[in-house]
Structure 1
Amino acid sequence: MARPRSFDRDHVLHAAERQFRTSGFNGTSVDDISAATGLGRGSLYAAFDGKHGVLLQAMAGYSARLGSAMEALAGPDQGALERLHRFLLHAVDGVPLADDVPPAPDRATAACFAAKMALELGASDPEVERLANDCFSVVATAVAACVRAAQRNGDIDPDADPDNLAYLLLTIVRGIDVVGACGHSPARLTSIVESALALLPRPHHR
């Protein structure tokens, strides 16, 4: 059997991710991936076991990049609330949290890759569902740690459940993706962010 030619794996997975973002999984063919990545069909099958294998590895890479991006939420207790604020405002710009992917042509394409694949394939594909949940967990874990820092600093009610608040904020961010993709203005999206921040439970003495 001929050996597949050498290639830059990260480049291929990034290019495939952009294709899946643009056309969805079902709307993307192996030929589309081959054209986007410059890798022949035979090499794609040999290296990734076909289109589904490319998707799974692209999602795994996206999850790893999310972990790096979420490091921006780490830091001292003082300033944790402001870091949460910036996390929410990041969604207003309509760019992926893992922002080493080149800019997309529109908000719908730029939205969370894991959420997009989860919405398209959902529970019908357990491997995609697991990887999407891994991505959500990466973000929620980092946000919850930042919430705990804000609690220690006296900015958020210490009795509030940080994990519940983290998933609340993650849901708001993903909702902003959807509302923004429907054409609502940055001013409206920013208003959503400010309202969400104001709803975070504050210590009773304040």
Structure 2
Amino acid sequence: MKQSGNSKQFAKKDGEACPRGRPREFDTDTVLTSASQVFWNHGYHATSIDDLCKATGLLRGSLYGVFGDKHGIMLAALDHYAEGSVARLAERLNAPVPAEEALRNALLHYARVACALTGERSCFITNTTLEMQPGDEELRTRVAAIQRRMATLLAASVIRGQASGAFNSTLDEKAVGDFLLCVMQGLRVLGRVAHKEDALIGIVDVAMRALV
């Protein structure tokens, strides 16, 4: 997807106009991927607009012209990252294997990733949630929507497991979906300080036993 801005606006804010007065064009997905990496590595508050300009290769006016301000860039970057994260979770949960195996593999993925990432990086969504200020209602709403999507996917996996007889049919799938989301988030947080994969795999096994 391409976005373009007004070259006069860029010249006013950045002291640099686009060649021959043409609007500056850039690929939004590429920009947001770069921006999410900066926020992921440094956190929202420690990230400056200059950091974002350097990472994206864009002028300040170009970023402001499309996203409004640093907070707007953060929201757009989080949305962009979440789309990929939710899609990958759906792909793992819907793998052509028994529901219980797909669910366990999905949870194991988060356990292994949590161990592989450094304590500073962890997960972009988790880091953003932990750093979120109480009054940031717009970000809270975004994070809540992402969590709902993930919990819904997990609940659907539980329903499939119940239909096949692998999971306890009396379990409330919504409550279990929320429980599994807590497990996923917990693995990510615990992985920031405890990089022992066996311990995190043990947590996954306990979670799976709770479903039978």
TM-score bucket (shorter structure): 0.7 to 0.9
Q: 2:207 aligns with which of 190, 196, 205?
A: 196
- Runs of 4+, deviation exceeding 3 Å: none
Q: Does 1:175 align with 2:194?
A: no
Paired residue secondary structure (1:7): strand
Q: 1:67 to 1:92 in 2, by over 3 A?
A: closer
Pick one of 120, 126, 146 that aligns with 1:115.
126
The one-letter code matched in structure 2 to 1:196 is A
RMSD: 1.9
Deviation, structure 1 residue 86: 0.6
Distance 1:167 1:108 in 2: 26
Q: CA deviation at 1:67?
A: 3.2
Q: Work out the percentage of aligned pairs sharing the same amino acid.
A: 33
From 168, 175, 185, give the equivalent of 1:164.
175
Bigger radius of gyration among the two: 2
CA shift for structure 1 position 32: 0.6
SS at match of 2:105: helix
Distance 2:169 2:64 in 1: 52
Match of 1:98 in 2: none
List runs of 5+ in structure 1 lacking aligned partners.
Answer: 96-103
Q: Determine the structure 1 residue equivalent to 2:118.
A: 106
Letter in 2 for 1:36: A
User: 1:74 matched to which residue of 2?
Assistant: 94
Residue 34 of structure 1, CA deviation: 0.5
TM-score (norm 1): 0.86
With the length of structure 2 as denominator, give the TM-score of the two structures. Answer: 0.83
Deviation at 1:85, TM superposition (A): 0.3
**1:46 aligned residue:** 65
Pick closer, same or farther for the CA change 1:70–1:91 going to 2, 3 Å: closer
Structure 1 SS opposite 2:132: helix
- Aligned: 1:155 with 2:160: no
Aligned residues: 191
Show the counterpart of 1:126.
137
Gaps of 5+ in 2: 1-5, 9-22
| Aligned-residue offset at 1:145 | 0.3
Q: CA deviation at 1:107?
A: 4.6
The offset of 1:178, in angstroms, is 1.3
1:15 equivalent in structure 2: 34
Compare 56-65 and 144-153 and name the one that shifted more.
56-65
Please name the residue that 1:101 is paired with: none
Amino acid at match of 2:164: N
Matched residue of 2:25: which SS?
A: coil
8 Å contact 2:155–2:173 — kept in the other structure?
A: yes
Give the counterpart letter for 2:71 in structure 1: H
- Structure 2: which amino acid aligns with 1:2? S
Distance 2:172 2:49 in 1: 45
Mapped partners of 2:26, 2:154: distance in 1: 36
**Partner Cα distance (2:37, 2:68) in 1:** 19
Task: Kindly state the Cα deviation for residue 170 of structure 1 after the two structures are TM-superposed.
Answer: 1.0
